[in-house]
Structure 1
Amino acid sequence: MLRKTLTITVLCLVVSTAFAQKSISSMTKDMVKKEGYFDYYWDEKTGKVWLEIEDLNKEFLYVNSLSAGIGSNDIGLDRGQLGSTRIVEFRRVGPKVMLVQPNYSYRAVSDNPDEIRAVKEAFAESVLQGFKVGAESNGKILIDITSMLLSDAHGVAGRLRGQGSYRVDGNRSAIYPPMLKNFPKNSEFEATITFTGNATGGFIRSVTPTSSAVTVRMHHSFIELPDANYEPRKADPRSGYGTIRFMDYATPIQENIVKQFSRRHRLEKKRPNAKMSDPVEPIRYYVDRGAPEPIKSALIEGARWWNQAFEAAGYRNAFIVEEMPEGADPLDVRYNVIQWVHRSTRGWSYGSSVTDPRTGEIIKGHVSLGSLRVRQDFLIAQGLLTPYENGTTPDPKLLKMALARLRQLSAHEVGHTIGLMHNYASSVNDRASVMDYPHPLIELKGGEISLDNAYDVGIGDWDKAAVTWGYQDFPDKVDEDKALDELINDQIERKLYFITDADSRPIGSSHPEAHLWDNGKSPVSELNRLMEVRAKVLDNFSEKNIPMGAPMAKLEEVLVPMYMIHRYQLEGAVKVLGGTYYNYKMRGDAQPEQKVVPRAEQEGALDALLNVITPNNLAFPDHIIAMIPPRPPGNGRSRETFKARTGLNFDPVAPGETIASAVMSFIFNPQRATRLVQQKAMDSNQMGLIDVIDKIQKAINNMSTENGYHAELKRAVEKQLMHGLMNLYNSNSASGQARAEAAQGLRLMVANLSGMKNFDVTEALKRVAEAMSPGVTTNGPEEAHKFYISNMIVRFFNNPGDLKIQNALSPPDGSPIGTDLQDWCSFGTYR
């Protein structure tokens, strides 16, 4: 018995000694202590960071981000990019400490602990990291978090996968001491991380000095969760606010189990009953000190527009924008920031947020604005005017328009960080929101191009109404749900509608009033007007569009956005075809029921689209073709120039073919084609798919050609019609009848080209064989074209899955304004 007791005692001493190890004070006596939310220590000798934990099982926010990025819009790893926001806690099990992420997507909001436990145990948690206890004293423990800080927490290797196979190289990675900072409510850590591998992509090679070694800086933030005094606001799909959502299993059976809260900052009036009041604490934003003038002032001015909206909501001095304090860290959670980000090519800007996943409270707004965007607007203005009359100094109107756009962009991205989504229905409503994507309004005044009203100034009426809905502070006795619904009904009465992303893209969507980069009450009328503007711009285009001493070939970079100036407006016009007027209607509200776009409007849209692809509108004026020589050394083709099939020479046909391809692919989008078929089936007076096909074929047949150049463009249009119908026939996303009518359209093309009244595969094959017989001569380009079309269609029907057709060349880059190449050829973040 004594031997057994001694054995147990020894074992207990061993275990106790193993667990206790050194005291924290003796372990850290030679380290630099950083006091703050989590006290931690920097050991310069070993290059390690030791974290002191006092409260185990206490939840906090963990955010990772990039403080120094890669500089490629295509790869998408930018300076200041926020990662995911996660609620985590430290849990100890014997000598181990685990960083655990609870599952807040599934909850039981209940006072019953058993009900809460049942839901918690039903769904998986995530253990993000594991550590060993290094020391402990007085209820505190010390862990080495260096391995976590040196890991690929941001998922950089995954984002680089298309550019090569990369992994973290520990020998070339280390803690970054200058950014080891601590504050009362947040602890900040940073490391230099090097990824090594073999580069296979051009994007990564273009932005790294040595593409086999890609070094970034990765930031980690531990943030105190907000107190429980924030009042979540129940989401409403008509409000325009992004949401957080979760399933609440404590919900009564008769109610919706899915709960959604709007994402917004905490804002309260000092005097809730007052019509106008100062806030308890204003929302403050800070602009990057690294932005040069006049950029910085434009960013501040644009962001300050939101104060107009908060004043409309009854707040005085509630939204403040200032320059970032010297020495402040943009990734510090205490600062809402507008960051100026540099990339090798122009790209999207973003409005991101650190948000409490429990309630939707926005803790930090973080805007990233791409610095090359302003140069793209300058380039657009450069093409619209003839700004180098004196050869060197550009017309001041160029910078004026670029800065006007920058103010709007600053306001737009800040709008995302205060909770708002895109509203693409505002351009038809007198520019009612900065949350739209605005195209410059180019006007003809006295026969000359005017940019006086290119971009709007200030916050729109929808923005004011939306901020009032999201941030209105109601007195205690007011029924908040009823008051919020009344605010929405007021918006409806004022026709301030909200339509966001999925309903506004040109591929597949059907709303005729919600588009990106458009203008005007009618997308069709504006397209027709813009075609007139475009003709004037191309007629005016000359060497005066570039400065003296620039290579003449550089005219092409200025020409591209002018030739393609209508690209977004035609995307809007095509949605009228097979379109439906609708809103996010709720039972009991005053919004109208959905209705199909009337036939007359659809026919007007098709007429406008067919006008776009006439040879006269696809052709470049002769003087432009003569002006642009092959590219000189050091000035090769880029993503900002047209693709060409003519080698070094400017290709005057391929851009027209690209536009014709876009128009046909939009019209014969499988979802659009299916809607046209069904609308005709339900209302014989509507225009159906077969009507559209017939009208396009007749329009092409009747296109006038002034010369051989125009005839070649007409043939290119007809080839794109064929490709559009073939792609529709092969699409599993289209209905069977839409595919049948596409096949009928192809049959009619052959019948029309061959002179056959009725298409017969056997007879068509016979005629093609005869045309290929020895001794048969062609009768010029037109005969060759007819034979090509007929032969391709016959071969297509023989084996539709295997026929390889030549696609039109993809367009130069468009969105963000200067296309989203995928269109033409996040609520954590919004573009």
Structure 2
Amino acid sequence: MRAASNAMPLLLAALMAGAVPVAVQAAAPAGAAPAAPTMPQLADLTRGLQSQPGFIDVWRDIDKGRVLLSVSALEQPFILASSLPYALGSNDVGLDRAQMGETRMVHFEKHGAKLLLVQENTNYVANSPDRDERAAVRESFSNSVLWSGEILASDNGHHLVDFSSFLLTDRHGIAARLADAKQGGYAVDAARSAVLAAEAKAFPDNVELESLLTFSGPGQAEYVRQVGADPASLSMRQRISMVRLPKLETDSWHPRPYHPYSGGFDANYVDFATPLASSIDVHWQVRHKLEKTDPTAAVSSVKKPIVYYVDRGAPEPVRSALIAGASWWASAFEKAGFKDAYRVELLPEGVDAQDIRYNVITWVHRATRGWSYGNAVADPRTGQILRGAVTLGSQRVRQDILIAEALLAPYGKDAPADKHKLAEEMALARLRQLAAHEVGHTLGFAHNFAASRMGNGSVMDYPHPILKLNAKGEVDLADAYGVGVGPWDDYIVKYIYGDFGSGAQEQAALAKLRADARAAGMLYSSDQDARTPGASHPDGLLWDFGPDTLKTWDQLGGVRQRALQTFSPGVLPDARQIGELEARLVPVYLLQRYQAEAVARLIGGGDFDYTSAGDVRAGAGKAGINVTPAEVQRQALKRLTDSLRAEYLALPANVLDVLTPPAAGYERNREYFATRMDSVFDAFSIAEAGAGQTVGFLLDPGRLNRVAWQHARDVQQPGVREVLAQVLDRTWKREPVPASVIGGEAVQLTANWVVSDALLNLLEGGKLHPQVAAEVRQSLLDLTQWTQKNPGKDVTAASRKQLAELVAAYLKDPRSVKLCGAPPVPPGAPI
């Protein structure tokens, strides 16, 4: 009877665990070992369920809301990726429809009665034929177990597990994204979440699984309140994709070594099996697999073309613009020797846009305008792209229309009847370029912010509309955006995808391509040298245009002046409430905001190459930094400091006299200038924003540190004291503002305070070298002495007196002074 008493707890445990009960054997004779329980058969547990055979066999248990997997390939790596078929709709949080999540390389392991899903550490490898050498690296760095499940049944090497618990976890990092955006602590509410078993699909090379996740949280923060039906209960869908990896040993396609001048992205890892004299830091070009049917032909058809599909949710005329713009890349592939290798189509009706087999351009809606993205799922071992996913924010095109209408004032009583159509034409031209740009990222191409030096040099740049004045002095939007890919785009397609054989032959051909591109004057500067306010590369610029930074500044200045002179209710369609005038003033008043950054890059600036030691030795690349000439730096300094003067910052009467608070039912938002006058337009705040834009670029600590060093090495270059002297001479120390400038003295004092606050914050930030900080302090001391000798009158006198007291107090005891931060500036990008 002892054996029988042991059987009951086993049975109860099985019942409590939800397992199928097994027959209890008759009690064994005393002293005999109990019989092992019989494991259920896989066929028994899947009987009546919907079968989905594929890369991993899937069974849908729709009645119970479960997804069962039958896993046979153990220890075999594959790709695990997440995405969001249904999302949050907040640009600020960044959880967009169709957003791709992190790509992981994983495998299943069996340990006893458990199946584990393990993420491999792809950052450290040993690509060696020696098993022990590979094991030494694998054992040195930690993998991660992502999930564990009980094996329900095993049959001929197939192990059945209920994968539902994995699908009900936050694999996409939704809660972390909400927390990072300061929206509060959210967590999955299991009671209000469900596995969407009916959506589970399996194919020969991928499995697609989906769940509804509800996140509970405080629901008090701005962004979730803006978009959530109930901000304390956010429900989204999570897609989990499992993707078969290519078989490297049987694949005729081979990875291509990455070069910093390729213009592309790289997949990288540390390989401890490289020869001792070689770098262990391995980089591969990220690219789609593209193979000619005839490798010997200069131009050949391909075994499998690259096809992109446009979201059916994009309306006309947007849909046609997306297809047209994304199709521009076809010409570059043709020039690279691939016939009919690339095309763009409308997604067929009924096709699952989140199926990882499809490269998709998704038209995404958000509560506010925001960025667009191009992401790729790639094999971490080789950089081979397995899927391209483009996200295009729908409100960007409306921003382009707004900018064009603000410049043209097409609804005025004297405007031609069809003038407003020019705004839509410009916006659609931008949309075609944007589609090509984001698809380019998913083809493996990086930003090239220097391409604008070559006109329409590349769709991989950020383009500012090319604005000019026509012979009548009117704003001209004709040819605001380029058409088609540029010479840099032809180069990167040929470099990254061109078929040049392999080994030394391939490397020689690629070296010639690089040399020819440099000889043609193709410049290259990407994100790391373009996005910070104090960046030094004078060509790595977002949203600029033209080969000459200073000439473009002057050209845009003329357009800005004309647009302000003609600004009127005619910038608004009849049905819009008049309070929107201010939102349309923003891009006009700040029209030179991006070119101001370009001008600032010339101060303390210097260009340099992305290259290799071999290219430098071969004369195909240069080492070191080419410092911007002193005279160019001084011209740039003059233009920037001119933009701190009241003559530039003050608004004309025709603008001031029409600006109206938002109407009932409407309110100010981030697209308006800040105000400290309740709902009324604040002319002080707009001057603060304009001045703050300039000083943010000019008085960047990195820039001033470079200026100090350049002057130390060559005294002909401007130094820190010269830069600060010119800033103060054109603001605090300037001559009286002409009476013709409306509110001129008040506007100038506004800009003056922005400058002095910025100088004090420079010292407070602690990023200046001590000797540079000393020059800033001395400049402030000199300014206070000047104010004592030049006290001024009325409001000017009050400000000068308070400035002297503030500077003295700060320099004596910084902790005794509460500094003002940078003034708020309405968002510009993305356009």
What interval of TM-score do these two structures reach, taking the shorter chain for normalisation? over 0.9
Q: CA deviation at 1:178?
A: 4.4
Where does residue 705 of structure 1 map in the other structure? 737
Where does residue 719 of structure 2 map in the other structure? 688
Residue-by-residue CA offset, 1:114-134 (whole Å, 9 max, x unaligned): 111111100101111000001
User: Residue 703 and residue 142 in structure 1: after superposition, are their counterparts in 2 closer, same or farther (change >3 A)?
Assistant: farther
The 5-angstrom pairing of residues 355-504 of structure 1 reads 355-389=378-412, 395-446=420-471, 447-475=473-501, 479-504=505-530
Where does residue 293 of structure 1 map in the other structure? 316
1:220 to 219, 236, 240: 240
User: Residue 7 and residue 799 in structure 1: after superposition, are their counterparts in 2 closer, same or farther (change >3 A)?
Assistant: farther
2:772 to 738, 747, 772: 738
Contact 1:290 1:340 in 2 (8 A): yes
Residue-by-residue CA offset, 1:579-629 (whole Å, 9 max, x unaligned): 012111322242344221111010011111112222111111111111012
Contact 2:581 2:660 in 1 (8 A): no
Q: 2 CA distance for matches of 1:255 and 1:354?
A: 28
2:797 to 777, 780, 783: 783
The 5-angstrom pairing of residues 609-628 of structure 1 reads 609-628=640-659
1:561 to 579, 587, 603: 587
Where does residue 359 of structure 2 map in the other structure? 336
Contact 2:219 2:225 in 1 (8 A): yes
User: Residue 6 and residue 336 in structure 1: after superposition, are their counterparts in 2 closer, same or farther (change >3 A)?
Assistant: farther
Q: 1 CA distance for matches of 2:194 and 2:393?
A: 28
User: Residue 533 and residue 174 in structure 1: after superposition, are their counterparts in 2 closer, same or farther (change >3 A)?
Assistant: same
Q: Do structure 1's residue 117 and structure 2's residue 117 form an aligned pair?
A: no
Please tell me the residue identity of whatever aligns with 1:743. R
Q: 2 CA distance for matches of 1:506 and 1:135?
A: 56
1:512 to 510, 523, 538: 538
Contact 1:730 1:739 in 2 (8 A): no
Most deviating of 295-304 and 620-629: 620-629
Q: 2 CA distance for matches of 1:583 and 1:694?
A: 33
Q: CA deviation at 1:141?
A: 1.2
The 5-angstrom pairing of residues 715-794 of structure 1 reads 715-755=749-789, 779-794=793-808
SS in structure 1 at match of 2:301: coil
Where does residue 764 of structure 1 map in the other structure? none
Please tell me the residue identity of whatever aligns with 1:213. S
Residue-by-residue CA offset, 1:283-317 (whole Å, 9 max, x unaligned): 11000011000101000000100011111211111
Please tell me the residue identity of whatever aligns with 2:571. N
1:166 to 170, 180, 186: 186
Q: Do structure 1's residue 816 and structure 2's residue 830 form an aligned pair?
A: yes
Q: Do structure 1's residue 44 and structure 2's residue 62 form an aligned pair?
A: yes
SS in structure 1 at match of 2:55: coil
Where does residue 270 of structure 2 map in the other structure? 247
Q: Do structure 1's residue 207 and structure 2's residue 207 form an aligned pair?
A: no
Q: Do structure 1's residue 590 and structure 2's residue 610 form an aligned pair?
A: no
Contact 1:249 1:257 in 2 (8 A): yes
Q: 1 CA distance for matches of 2:210 and 2:101?
A: 14
Where does residue 21 of structure 2 map in the other structure? none
Please tell me the residue identity of whatever aligns with 2:756. M
Query: Which runs of 4 or more aligned residues in structure 1 lie more than 4 Å from their structure 2 counterparts after TM superposition?
Result: 5-9, 390-394
Q: CA deviation at 1:209?
A: 1.0
Where does residue 765 of structure 1 map in the other structure? none
User: Residue 125 and residue 490 in structure 1: after superposition, are their counterparts in 2 closer, same or farther (change >3 A)?
Assistant: same
Q: 1 CA distance for matches of 2:30 and 2:147?
A: 35
Where does residue 807 of structure 1 map in the other structure? 821
Q: CA deviation at 1:68?
A: 0.5
Q: 1 CA distance for matches of 2:58 and 2:302?
A: 35
Q: 1 CA distance for matches of 2:213 and 2:602?
A: 50
SS in structure 2 at match of 1:322: strand
Please tell me the residue identity of whatever aligns with 2:467. I
Contact 2:312 2:346 in 1 (8 A): yes
- Structure 1 gap segments, 5+ residues each: 757-770, 772-777, 818-831
Residue-by-residue CA offset, 1:467-517 (whole Å, 9 max, x unaligned): 100001124686111111111111110111211011112522101111001
Q: Do structure 1's residue 56 and structure 2's residue 79 form an aligned pair?
A: no
Where does residue 98 of structure 1 map in the other structure? 116
Residue-by-residue CA offset, 1:60-109 (whole Å, 9 max, x unaligned): 11111111100000000000011111111110000011001121111111
Where does residue 822 of structure 1 map in the other structure? none
The 5-angstrom pairing of residues 527-566 of structure 1 reads 527-566=553-592
User: Residue 680 and residue 529 in structure 1: after superposition, are their counterparts in 2 closer, same or farther (change >3 A)?
Assistant: same
Most deviating of 708-717 and 528-537: 708-717
Contact 2:450 2:539 in 1 (8 A): yes
User: Residue 393 and residue 70 in structure 1: after superposition, are their counterparts in 2 closer, same or farther (change >3 A)?
Assistant: farther
SS in structure 1 at match of 2:51: strand
Contact 2:407 2:588 in 1 (8 A): yes
Q: 2 CA distance for matches of 1:126 and 1:312?
A: 45
Q: CA deviation at 1:720?
A: 1.9
Q: Do structure 1's residue 657 and structure 2's residue 671 form an aligned pair?
A: no
Contact 2:644 2:730 in 1 (8 A): no
Please tell me the residue identity of whatever aligns with 2:539. E
Contact 1:506 1:574 in 2 (8 A): no
* Percent identity (aligned): 38
1:236 to 248, 259, 277: 259
Q: 2 CA distance for matches of 1:540 and 1:326?
A: 48
Please tell me the residue identity of whatever aligns with 2:87. G
Q: 1 CA distance for matches of 2:124 and 2:713?
A: 43
Please tell me the residue identity of whatever aligns with 1:550. R
Please tell me the residue identity of whatever aligns with 1:714. Q
Q: CA deviation at 1:9?
A: 7.5
Q: 2 CA distance for matches of 1:729 and 1:808?
A: 14
Q: 1 CA distance for matches of 2:76 and 2:32?
A: 34
- Tell me how many residue pairs correspond in the alignment: 789
User: Residue 224 and residue 477 in structure 1: after superposition, are their counterparts in 2 closer, same or farther (change >3 A)?
Assistant: closer
User: Residue 8 and residue 307 in structure 1: after superposition, are their counterparts in 2 closer, same or farther (change >3 A)?
Assistant: farther
SS in structure 2 at match of 1:199: coil
Please tell me the residue identity of whatever aligns with 2:806. M
Q: CA deviation at 1:453?
A: 1.3
SS in structure 2 at match of 1:284: strand
User: Residue 351 and residue 476 in structure 1: after superposition, are their counterparts in 2 closer, same or farther (change >3 A)?
Assistant: closer
User: Residue 133 and residue 177 in structure 1: after superposition, are their counterparts in 2 closer, same or farther (change >3 A)?
Assistant: closer
Q: 1 CA distance for matches of 2:162 and 2:207?
A: 15
Where does residue 88 of structure 1 map in the other structure? 106
Tell me the TM-score normalised to structure 2 length: 0.93
SS in structure 1 at match of 2:146: strand
Where does residue 797 of structure 1 map in the other structure? 811
Q: CA deviation at 1:449?
A: 0.8
Contact 2:363 2:393 in 1 (8 A): yes
Q: CA deviation at 1:177?
A: 3.8
Q: 2 CA distance for matches of 1:509 and 1:27?
A: 62
SS in structure 2 at match of 1:163: coil
1:673 to 700, 704, 709: 704
Where does residue 70 of structure 1 map in the other structure? 88
1:197 to 193, 196, 217: 217
Where does residue 635 of structure 1 map in the other structure? 666
Contact 1:244 1:261 in 2 (8 A): yes
Q: CA deviation at 1:176?
A: 2.0
